[in-house]
């Protein structure tokens, strides 16, 4: 009986060691969560893939220079459950992305929301 309990305890500990890195992957340490950044632009690519859906847009800065931004949302399965599909966004679409920019200053957003040109707001990290 003691051997079964010890075996179960070791198994649970091993499972915990495997699960913790998965949660760490989804941390926000690399993002500046002190302020939301909003980017309006034209979609150049939409990758409805795992592990995270990617949206690429081009916009212009205040001087008229083209900027290329990358928005990262949740995984395709979670977004599918929230009503997304591979055709919800297409190259050429005008969208607004709001999220947390990378602390490095890279033109990357961990998306909080995406608003389509018709005003629909898409949930980007739905509860699973």
In a domain, 63, yes or no: yes
Residue 5 included in any domain: no
Question: How many domains does the structure of the chain reveal?
Answer: 1
The per-residue pLDDT for 71 is 97
Tell me which residue of 67, 61, 48, 50 sits closest to 108, measured CA to CA: 67
CATH number at residue 64: 2.40.50.140
pTM score over 0.95: no
In a domain, 6, yes or no: no
pLDDT score recorded for residue 4: 66
In the three-class reduction of DSSP (H, G, I as helix; E, B as strand; rest coil), residue 64 is classed as coil
**CA dist., res. 107 & res. 68, Å (int):** 7
> What are residue 122's phi and psi, to 5 degrees?
-100, 135
Q: Do the domain assignments include residue 18? A: no
57 in any annotated domain: yes
Structural domain contains residue 31? no
Q: What is the pLDDT along the chain (128 residues), one digit of tens a residue?
A: 667 655 555 454 544 444 444 444 557 778 888 999 999 999 999 999 999 999 999 999 999 999 999 999 999 999 999 889 999 999 999 999 999 999 999 999 999 999 999 999 998 876 54
The answer to the question of residue 16 being in a domain is no
The alpha-carbon radius of gyration of the chain (Å, integer) is 19
Containing domain of residue 57, as a range?
A: 37-123
Residue 13 maps to a domain: no
**Which pLDDT score is estimated for 16?**
43
């Amino acid at each position: 009986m003691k051997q079964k309990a010890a075996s179960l305890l070791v198994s649970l500990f091993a499972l915990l060691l495997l699960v913790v890195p998965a949660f760490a992957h989804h941390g926000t340490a690399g993002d500046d969560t002190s302020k939301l950044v909003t980017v309006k632009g034209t979609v150049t690519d939409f990758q409805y893939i795992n592990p995270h859906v990617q949206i690429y847009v081009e916009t212009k800065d205040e001087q008229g220079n083209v900027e290329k931004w990358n928005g990262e949302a949740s995984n395709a399965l979670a977004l599918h459950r929230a009503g997304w599909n591979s055709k919800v966004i297409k190259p050429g679409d005008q969208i607004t992305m709001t999220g947390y920019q990378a602390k490095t200053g890279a033109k990357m957003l961990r998306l909080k929301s995406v608003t389509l040109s018709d005003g629909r707001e898409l949930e980007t990290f739905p509860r699973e």
